[in-house]
């Protein structure tokens, strides 16, 4: 199997041994895709509708839209938020607090008793007014075409989010994507 050669100088027969076959040349194929800085790529997190989130995620979504000056991640039952860090003006309240699938009672452990009372009063005032505001431009939605984000339950004008007609199925805003 090995080729046989005769040595001209000493007239001996020698067998040459070749190295084992090498693999393919070039850059090795990666099992995971990496970025230019050799870090693994982040997985694309798929948006989840508000109805499919657990109660902790639902509270976090509402607190993100409700709290000002404090990170929503820092708010907990052990560290409740005071009324001075909440949006309590009826026109500033997020549309999510008025949505039929939202249980506002889940927010009570994350608020001080005074903040909870003020939030309930602001929600009662907001329910009496029929004004809805775009989460992007903060103008009244009025009779203009608008769309609701399936994840955060905020409303947007078609023009503010670049839509021309009604979407079929779920739609997610750029913040949730």
**CATH code of the domain covering residue 166:** 3.30.40.10
Question: What DSSP state is assigned to residue 40?
Answer: B
Whether residues 94 and 160 share a domain: the answer is no
Whether residues 115 and 98 share a domain: the answer is yes
Residue 22 is assigned to a structural domain of this protein: no
Global confidence as pTM: 0.69
Residue 11 is assigned to a structural domain of this protein: no
Sign of CA dihedral 103, 108, 113, 116: negative
Q: How many domains does the chain have?
A: 2
Q: Which of 70, 92, 89, 91 is nearest to 81 (CA)?
A: 70
The pLDDT value recorded for residue 94 is 86
pLDDT in tens, 78-120: 999 999 999 998 888 888 888 888 899 999 999 999 999 999 9
pLDDT in tens, 40-55: 666 656 788 999 999 8
Residue 29 CB: number of other CB atoms within 10 A?
6
Whether residues 64 and 92 share a domain: the answer is yes
Whether residues 118 and 166 share a domain: the answer is no
Whether residues 146 and 177 share a domain: the answer is yes
- CB-side neighbour CA atoms (13 Å) of 146: 20
Residue 118 is assigned to a structural domain of this protein: yes
Q: Which residue range forms the structural domain that includes residue 145?
A: 133-177
Look at residue 155 and tell me whether its pLDDT is greater than 70: yes
Q: How far apart are CA 72 and CA 99, in angstroms?
A: 20
């Amino acid at each position: 199997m090995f080729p046989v050669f005769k040595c001209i100088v000493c007239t001996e027969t020698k067998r040459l041994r070749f190295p084992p076959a090498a693999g393919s040349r070039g850059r090795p194929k990666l099992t995971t895709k990496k970025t230019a800085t050799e870090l693994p790529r982040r997985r694309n997190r798929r948006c989840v509708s508000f109805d499919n989130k657990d109660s902790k995620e639902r509270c976090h979504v509402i607190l993100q839209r409700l709290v000002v000056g404090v990170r929503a991640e820092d708010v907990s039952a052990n560290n409740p938020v005071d009324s001075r860090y909440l949006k309590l003006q009826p026109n500033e309240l997020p549309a999510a607090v008025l949505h039929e699938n939202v249980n506002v009672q889940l927010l009570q452990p994350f608020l001080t008793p005074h903040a909870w009372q003020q939030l309930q009063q602001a929600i009662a005032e907001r329910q009496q007014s029929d004004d809805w505001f775009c989460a992007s431009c903060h103008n009244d939605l009025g009779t203009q075409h608008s769309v609701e984000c399936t994840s955060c339950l905020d409303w947007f004008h078609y023009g503010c989010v670049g839509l021309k007609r009604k979407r079929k199925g779920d739609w997610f805003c750029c913040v949730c994507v």
